[in-house]
A and B are shown apart, each in its own frame.
Chain A
């Protein structure tokens, strides 16, 4: 799960991690009020969307006066911000963060994330703050500090010092940075973060270390133990189809521009089915894993969500019936298809337990359902539908 920068900074403040003074604003008036409260110029007006690269896209601007705050806030609020992470369609800006401007002496990069290979938490830091970290890692890997923290031991003092001295910090900066890093690591673990990134982390001309930016993502599997994080969910940042799917516990992801919907049991098979659709010359409209249960109700809701997309010209259902028998599933599909009144062709590929019975039920349903003999046949039938 992702949250906004201003929410991440609220968490930082809870842990005593220094951030610039500032507040979220949801209108131009509020932005002006926050600026007035800060009491000095310049202030920074930052678009709040769940995507990086906001500065380059024109979503972060410096305002030197109340008039400029008015202008800039008006400009950014409601704009469609396009960054390398939003895709070409961009994201509408509905929230701002207004913060004090600070005298920056140096910009650094700092992040923490669980490293899947080593099963350790990795702290990454670099003196090249403000740059995209993938670029730093690719071009100047020697400038990237990587410290692996054993989750059973936690962050050790020497490891924190390795980061500080690796970043060539002056003694008084080190003194401010070490407790900050300890607090950051504590928050990272306490909150089951999947990413904590500060880019840039700044050293001010009066030698303070401050998180100028804050990006925090959370492990969805751990949200059950973080009710306060759940409350940060912003539906404006999510696809409406995906919000609908999440209500029914369906694992659905919309793919822009696709023309063949699909419904599959199991995440791996669902991905592979999307690939099969693409290889057949069509384009998948979604990822949808109905899980091992795949009840009639789930299939019905799945249909409704897939067919809510007007670009969908056909639907491929690919089910490997294991414990869940194919005949039960076929009955679910028929029931659901009748309720939803489907107008596009449905292609069903089914294998596994009681497959013959399942196919018979589908063939005799009187619905526009085509039963594919195998996956290759299903792909051909999908291609024909896409071309029609």
Chain B
């Protein structure tokens, strides 16, 4: 078992004919993900390296029995693409696109609540269950199957976390990038709930950053509900307040959203917090020793 994706995932790609969309679709396929359809309005009937392209998500789902969507649509049209996937009742939607207006995502998020779909992202690297399925832009070769679940708001920091534990030969059950935007589909608590329930996942790494209060809420949740060991890292201790640090969601507002506040909340909840990113691997190895 793994979290939300596995060998049976049947992926459709929205924006498959774009440069990025096509490149990453083929990378996912090469990793072994079943890519069953693509969607680009106006290009229905064409194909990308043997993958049939449809005009609408509804048709792609009907014809190809897709049960997951990966979205590479440009930011101005991305909310529309996500809504289309929700209406086609796609159970898992992974939006890679960076730069979607917040007002658009707020509408999507509220619409999502009444649906049966799960949205991962936007502005995220995607989700990978090593050896089974990759949906997203993460470099596949750095991963291997194993017992650690990783959840992160940042793409390259997820790769860094993977790399750090791989130095000690520790593999991953599922790695989820939830994205760097202020409003996203899946949050830390959703992922922690899934990791706690997943028998393959024995330990968890949670990578957060400044801005918002998702890490504080996750810490409280962990204290009450998670029995597996958790190692945490927060980026942005040196970030100046009031400035957006690359990610739209990475901003300290007034006295809230600071790295120090988040680290304290996590420590108070019994999470092992790593301050120096260079030590993440060592600390995780030690903290996970009993369960691995």
Q: Is the CB of B239 within 8 A of A287?
A: yes
Nearest neighbor of A278 in chain B, beta-carbon distance: B238
Distance in angstroms between the alpha carbons of A116 and B212 in the assembled complex: 7
Q: Is the CB of B153 within 8 A of A119?
A: no
Q: Is the CB of A268 within 8 A of B180?
A: yes
Point out the residues of chain B lying under 8 angstroms from A353, CB to CB: 139, 141
Distance in angstroms between the alpha carbons of A119 and B100 in the assembled complex: 14
Q: Is the CB of A220 within 8 A of B155?
A: no
Q: Is the CB of B277 within 8 A of A275?
A: yes
Q: From residue A251, how far is it (CB to closest CB) to chain B in Å?
A: 5
Q: Which of A25-33, A177-185, A371-379 contacts B (4 or more CB under 8 A)?
A: A371-379
Contact residue among B110, B153, B237, B243 (Cβ-Cβ distance under 8 Å from A268)? B153
Point out the residues of chain A lying under 8 angstroms from B182, CB to CB: 114, 116
Point out the residues of chain A lying under 8 angstroms from B180, CB to CB: 267-268
Nearest neighbor of A266 in chain B, beta-carbon distance: B156
Q: Is the CB of A275 within 8 A of B159?
A: no
Q: Is the CB of A379 within 8 A of B276?
A: yes
Q: Is the CB of A351 within 8 A of B163?
A: yes
Given contacts A221-B102, A267-B180, contact A322 B138 (CB under 8 A): yes
Given contacts A269-B160, A320-B163, contact A287 B278 (CB under 8 A): no
Q: Is the CB of A379 within 8 A of B105?
A: no
Nearest neighbor of B239 in chain A, beta-carbon distance: A271
Interface residues of B in 81-121 (CB under 8 A from A): 99-107, 109-111
Given contacts A117-B212, A221-B100, contact A255 B240 (CB under 8 A): yes
Point out the residues of chain A lying under 8 angstroms from B212, CB to CB: 116-117
Distance in angstroms between the alpha carbons of A78 and B189 in the assembled complex: 51
Asked if B236 is an interface residue, CB under 8 A from chain A, the answer is yes
Given contacts A220-B244, A353-B141, A375-B277, contact A275 B101 (CB under 8 A): no
Point out the residues of chain B lying under 8 angstroms from A189, CB to CB: 103
Q: Is the CB of A85 within 8 A of B277?
A: no
Asked if B267 is an interface residue, CB under 8 A from chain A, the answer is no
Selected A-B contacts with CB under 8 Å, 16 pairs: A116-B183, A116-B212, A117-B213, A119-B106, A119-B109, A134-B255, A219-B102, A255-B240, A267-B246, A268-B235, A270-B246, A272-B235, A275-B235, A275-B275, A375-B277, A375-B278
Q: Which 8 A-B pairs have the closest CB atoms?
A: A268-B154, A267-B246, A266-B156, A322-B139, A375-B278, A222-B101, A268-B157, A119-B109
| Residues in chain A within 8 A of chain B (CB atoms) | 85, 114, 116-117, 119-121, 134, 150-152, 189, 192, 194, 219-222, 224-225, 251, 253, 255, 264-279, 284, 287, 289, 292, 320-323, 351-353, 374-376, 378-379
